[in-house]
Amino acid sequence: MATYLYHQQPDLHEHDAVVLASRPGAVLLDRSALHPGGGGQMSDRAVLHVGAQKLHVTNVVHEAQGYWHQLDTQDTLAPGDRLVVHIDQPWRMVLAQLHTATHILNALVYQRFSGALVTGAQISGDGTARMDFDLPLADNDQLRALQSDVNEVIRSAREVTALYVSETEARNTPGLIRSMSVAPPPSSDGSLRVIDIAGLDRQACGGTHLTNTAQSRPVVITKIENKGKQNRRVRIALA
């Protein structure tokens, strides 16, 4: 996976930037601490302060030249313009809570259902998320019962950290890569970013996370659905 500025400085919510290129409704910056989305997670949002002007970033899209920041207006900036990026912290916090909670849920399913893998995920800014698992024979009541265990992990205030391992180590370590369909691409030096929830889980991931599980609100398992013969969809929401 690419190494983003938010990987290196996860608490950076405001920084300067220079416009490299622009087009109506989008801008390319020389640096950005926004998570561009991916792995089922929506991108960060932000406000760009250009003098007295405020432009709202609603999405980040990867193209050949880099990451284009899509705006809520068709205004055009000039290359060389200097601005200040203010990341929407409440939006980031919701996504980080949900992403950390899905890792906790994923860990418990993997441990208790014979290494069941993830077949899909979606993490939304409205405080809800879903995970699909390869669980053709699972009892839905057993899955619902995981809610109390997820919340116990949240309350236990476990440290959440990021570390990097070689791609070879990641692929040879059972459980570090959990998706049946997509493995996160390595960074330029061939390493993979791994999210470690102390005493519970290690999993390759490029998304935004909390630094301690106790920073999260409790979660509720709102629905469990059968999706075809193999998949069970578990929907969660922040309480």
Mind listing the domains of the chain with CATH numbers? 7-87 (2.40.30.130), 92-238 (3.30.980.10)
pLDDT at 179 over 60: yes
What pLDDT band is residue 159 in, cutting at 50, 70 and 90? Answer: very high
- Mean pLDDT (the chain) is 92
130-146: average pLDDT: 93
94-119: average pLDDT: 96
Q: What is the predicted pLDDT for the residue at 3?
A: 54
Q: What is the predicted pLDDT for the residue at 184?
A: 66
Q: What is the predicted pLDDT for the residue at 216?
A: 98
What pLDDT band is residue 200 in, cutting at 50, 70 and 90? Answer: very high
145-152: average pLDDT: 98
pLDDT at 2 over 70: no
Indicate the range of 145-149, 197-201, 202-206 predicted with least confidence: 202-206
Share of the chain above pLDDT 70, in %: 96
User: What's the CA gap between 27 and 46, in Å, rounded?
Assistant: 13
Q: What is the predicted pLDDT for the residue at 101?
A: 98
What pLDDT band is residue 185 in, cutting at 50, 70 and 90? Answer: low
Q: What is the predicted pLDDT for the residue at 175?
A: 81
Q: What is the predicted pLDDT for the residue at 35?
A: 93
Q: What is the predicted pLDDT for the residue at 8?
A: 85
What pLDDT band is residue 167 in, cutting at 50, 70 and 90? Answer: confident
How does strand 82-87 pair with strand 118-123? unpaired
